[in-house]
Amino acid sequence: MIRAYDDIIVKTIARILTPFIQIFALYVIMHGHHSPGGGFQGGVILGASLILLFITHGLKETKKRITEKGIAVLSSLGVLIYSGIGLLCIILLGNYLDYGKLSKLLHIVPAEARSLGILGIEIGVGITVMAVMVSIFLNISTGGTLLEDEEDNTR
Amino acid sequence: MILLFDFAILIFVLICAVAAITVKDLLSSVIILGAYSFLLCLLWAEMGAVDVAFTEASVGAGIGTILLIVAVSKTTRRSKD
């Protein structure tokens, strides 16, 4: 169990730094298809920003904002976005992840639809990677027991 | 000049790799492994593989170090062998 680190400098710096790390992660995700970076790297950075909060502010205080149920929902939501876009392309009479077919639905030229389709995939990958990274961290740091179980025991 | 830079980083990478497996204190070993990851990231970026360098920096030096530190904090800090 990770407790809150009792130092105002560390806590304040972490709190101020977190939004900037998250903005950078969103930049990496949004520019994934025409510069280095992408869904995986951006998701890892986004997960690292949340883990920074967990380390500095303690497990008990941070889980009021970021619940384990929410993380499980997010990790499934990313896969749903990925496979949803892929299956949408099959419904529009194309191959799996054939983004060009999305142009009929969005009323834009196929090249633009491909760019937007890849962006959607990157967002899905980023959400899943972020949630899974935080989930791995929580599972290691709590030793596999759920946070809700630990509250009942009041150790 | 750039070849010299390559070799300098490579020597540092080798030093870090050997140090990480010989140090008895596991927490120091994890920190040295983070430095190894960062130097490898520098090497990738210098050789032109920016995407690989990005992954190395975020996964190797970021998440990997955090997860190993958490694992050390849940187990013992001293190595038995």
**What are the pLDDT digits (tens) for A99-135?**
888 888 888 888 888 888 899 999 999 999 999 999 9
A40 neighbourhood in chain B, CB within 8 Å:
55
- Please name the helix (run of DSSP H) or strand (run of DSSP E) that holds residue B81, with its range, or none: none
Q: How would you write the pLDDT of chain B (81 residues) with one tens digit per residue?
A: 688 989 999 999 999 999 999 998 999 999 999 999 999 999 999 988 999 999 999 998 889 999 998 888 888 888 776
Q: Is the dihedral of CA A132, A135, A141, A142 positive or negative?
A: negative
| Interfacial residues of A (vs B; Cβ cutoff 8 Å) | 2, 28, 36-38, 40-41, 44-45, 47-48, 51, 55, 133, 136-137, 140-141, 143
Cβ partners under 8 Å of residue B49, min gap 6: none
Q: Are A91 and A102 in contact (CB under 8 A)?
A: no
pLDDT of residue A152: 53
Quick one: tokens of B18? Answer: 């050997």
In the predicted model, what is the mean pLDDT of chain A? 86
- ipTM over 0.90? The verdict is no
**pLDDT category of residue A143 using cuts at 50, 70 and 90:** confident
Nearest-neighbour CA in chain B from A71: distance (Å): 17
Q: What is the pLDDT of residue A1?
A: 56
Inter-chain CB pairs, A–B, below 8 Å: 42
Probe site for chain A from B37, B51, B58, B68 (most A CB atoms < 10 A): B58
Contact A130, A72 (CB under 8 A): no
